[in-house]
Chain A
Amino acid sequence: MNAHLVRTAAEGRRHGPRARLRATARSEWVKLWSVRSAPAVLGATAVVIVLGALVLCSGYRSGWASMSASERAAFDPASTSLRGIEPAQLFVGALGVLAVTGEYGTGLIRTTLAATPQRAQVLVVKGLVLGAVVWAVTTASSFGAFALGQHLLTGPVPHAELEDPGVLRAVLGGGLYLTLIALFGTALGALSRSTPLGLAALFGVLLVLPLMVGLLPSGLADGILPYLPGEAGSQVWHVMPPSPHSLGPWQGFSLFALDVVVSAGAVLTLTRKRDV
């Protein structure tokens, strides 16, 4: 008997839930990094977050003189340097959707579920692995963007320090918000099982819905806008509330987290029943 077979036999003996969990996590890790686009998308995310700080903070620096007193009072140096998150959510959201739909597209999902018939476990571990990677990259990028942005806000333009109230929460919140966006994308991808549908659903909810509501008369819009998933979730990376109707940072974030949990719950119930 050769060494390979001896090892599989030995592994077979200690087949337990924990060994299976470790094996699933390892296979999801391999799948994430062997999709050619994943490192590129994560790299682009980091670049966009930092680039946002560069463009916006130098824009405010050069245009400060032309701003009115009320505009100056409403200026939030910390979250201005973090607004690269807005374009970056496109990238991590798409990554989340593609993490599932890519597997359906190539048919790899059949092998995955044949190897691990515990479907819910596969999806949960997929979410955890993706979430951990996205969290690490985006949190590091948030700190980078904050440091660069505050460095660019010089002279008369106010700037923020990490010790100021709410600032550390906002910078950490940037990573948390983008992690939830990626998980929301994963859930919507698993619900739709199709790349175009998943992307349309995610960006319809995150980007198009607030634009639609914004067209309504302001009294009506103010009542709806704060509760939309993207709007509620993004309060966590703002120091000053963007509008008087905004939810509090953790209130809004919890509401968004609830949206993600509900969609994940829908996935986990459906995934047991549906064909692959």
Chain B
Amino acid sequence: MPTDTSGTPVPAARARRPPVPRHAPVTPLSRGRAVLASEWIKLRSLRSLRATALSGFAFSVGLAFLVCSGFQARWHTLGAQAQAHFRPVDTGLGFLQITPLFFGALGALVVTTEYGTGQIRGTFVATPQRPLVLAAKALLVGLLGFGLALVTVSAAFLLGQSRLSGATPHASPADSGAAGAVLGGALYLTLTGLLGLFLGALARSTAVAISALLCLFTILPVLVNNLPKGFVWRHTVPYLPSNLGFSLWHSHVGFLLRPVSAGCVLALYVVVTAAAGMALLRTRDG
């Protein structure tokens, strides 16, 4: 009979078990890296994410092209007042009223598809530190989203301005305010991506998350922006996410916020949604 190191006999079954491989101890850092790696694989392998990102890019660039071509072709039919009010940067970046929907959907899909397929259960069994999972998703969505947003907005801006020529005013990236507007637009899209991610974590369903985004970014602004600008309006409507984003890329309009404060308030929205998402993630079923 085999014996252990002290010479006491041990049962054969235990003795034949292969030695336990010695893993490096799990440190918070190594766990973080592992979670990040697994989230990266999931993000890369989701077909619907690639489709949403590509259609968001194509939509933005295509719309910028269409709108600027339209203004170029019809410049002489515009009235003197419309010509005086024409700002090439604002018009060229007009797609930023719709593109946030694509980025919001992108962020939401990162979470809701996992709930849809049931993959989330495997994820949470592997990493019971649920907020860590969401934080890893947010880090990736934030970084990749900003890259994608910057490429999308810059490409659409350059293509749009290249369509404007002759008598039609046009802007170059070096013009004052142009680079700021492009950067502001990219920041707006990144923040909506993150907002979509955390809304998705709250809703856990693609349909609900996307409906919420549509309500927030297309219906609510149309409904309240034209109300008379009374006291209540001035202290609520400029703080809608869509109007904060508008302040980030559009030249200043009447009662709306200045870009820096608008960016801060929009970031605050993301932080509050994130906190709600993290808190509920701990208490709800997977």
Question: Would you call the interface of chain A mostly helix, strand, loop, or mixed?
Answer: helix
* Contact of A59 with B228 in the complex, beta carbons under 8 Å: yes
A207-B223 contact, Cβ under 8 Å, with A71-B228, A216-B66, A217-B78: no
* Contact of A216 with B70 in the complex, beta carbons under 8 Å: yes
Which of B78, B206, B222, B228 has the most chain A CB within a 10 Å cutoff? B228
A211-B228 contact, Cβ under 8 Å, with A83-B223, A203-B214, A217-B74: no
* Contact of A86 with B98 in the complex, beta carbons under 8 Å: no
B residues near A94, Cβ cutoff 8 Å = 207, 211
* Contact of B74 with A208 in the complex, beta carbons under 8 Å: no
* Contact of B74 with A66 in the complex, beta carbons under 8 Å: no
Complex Cα spacing A264 to B261, Å: 48
Q: How many residues of chain A get a CB closer than 8 Å to chain B's CBs?
A: 34
A59-B232 contact, Cβ under 8 Å, with A196-B206, A217-B70, A219-B77: yes
* Contact of B219 with A86 in the complex, beta carbons under 8 Å: yes
A207-B218 contact, Cβ under 8 Å, with A56-B223, A63-B227: yes
For B63, give its contact among A66, A90, A215 (CB under 8 Å). A215
B residues near A62, Cβ cutoff 8 Å = 228, 230-232
A residues near B270, Cβ cutoff 8 Å = none
A residues near B222, Cβ cutoff 8 Å = 86
- Which residues of chain B (92-142) have a CB below 8 Å from chain A? 94-95, 97-98, 101
- Which residues of chain B (40-99) have a CB below 8 Å from chain A? 48, 63, 66-67, 70-71, 74, 77-78, 82, 91, 94-95, 97-98
Does A133 sit within 8 A of B, measured CB to CB?
no
Complex Cα spacing A216 to B63, Å: 9
Complex Cα spacing A62 to B228, Å: 8
Does B268 sit within 8 A of A, measured CB to CB?
no
Does A158 sit within 8 A of B, measured CB to CB?
no
B residues near A211, Cβ cutoff 8 Å = 97-98, 218
B137 CB to closest chain A CB, in angstroms? 19
* Contact of B82 with A208 in the complex, beta carbons under 8 Å: no
A residues near B215, Cβ cutoff 8 Å = 87, 90
Interface residues on B, range: 35 or more
A residues near B63, Cβ cutoff 8 Å = 212, 215
A208-B211 contact, Cβ under 8 Å, with A60-B227, A62-B230, A216-B67: no
A residues near B211, Cβ cutoff 8 Å = 90-91, 94, 199
Complex Cα spacing A196 to B233, Å: 34
B residues near A64, Cβ cutoff 8 Å = 228
B residues near A196, Cβ cutoff 8 Å = 48, 206-207, 210
A90-B97 contact, Cβ under 8 Å, with A63-B233, A207-B219: no
Chain A, Cβ-Cβ closest to B218: A207
Complex Cα spacing A192 to B82, Å: 41
A residues near B66, Cβ cutoff 8 Å = 216
* Contact of A60 with B228 in the complex, beta carbons under 8 Å: yes
Complex Cα spacing A252 to B67, Å: 26
A residues near B230, Cβ cutoff 8 Å = 59, 62-63, 65-66
Complex Cα spacing A67 to B229, Å: 8
Does A218 sit within 8 A of B, measured CB to CB?
yes
* Contact of B229 with A66 in the complex, beta carbons under 8 Å: yes
A residues near B220, Cβ cutoff 8 Å = 87
* Contact of B218 with A208 in the complex, beta carbons under 8 Å: yes
A residues near B231, Cβ cutoff 8 Å = 62
Does B279 sit within 8 A of A, measured CB to CB?
no
Residue interface bits A93-104, CB-to-B below 8 A is 1, else 0: 010001000000
Complex Cα spacing A94 to B82, Å: 38
Does A175 sit within 8 A of B, measured CB to CB?
no
Does A45 sit within 8 A of B, measured CB to CB?
no
B155 CB to closest chain A CB, in angstroms? 17
Residue interface bits B202-225, CB-to-A below 8 A is 1, else 0: 000011001100110011101110
* Contact of B232 with A195 in the complex, beta carbons under 8 Å: no
Complex Cα spacing A62 to B70, Å: 40
Which of B77, B224, B230 has the most chain A CB within a 10 Å cutoff? B230
Complex Cα spacing A243 to B66, Å: 24
* Contact of B214 with A66 in the complex, beta carbons under 8 Å: no
B residues near A67, Cβ cutoff 8 Å = 228
Please name 13 pairs of A and B residues whose Cβ atoms are closer than 8 Å in the assembled complex, sorted by A.
Answer: A59-B227, A60-B227, A62-B228, A63-B228, A66-B228, A66-B229, A83-B223, A86-B222, A86-B223, A90-B214, A90-B215, A195-B206, A207-B218
Given contacts A59-B228, A208-B218, A219-B78, 5 further A-B contacts (CB under 8 A): A56-B227, A59-B224, A195-B207, A200-B210, A217-B82
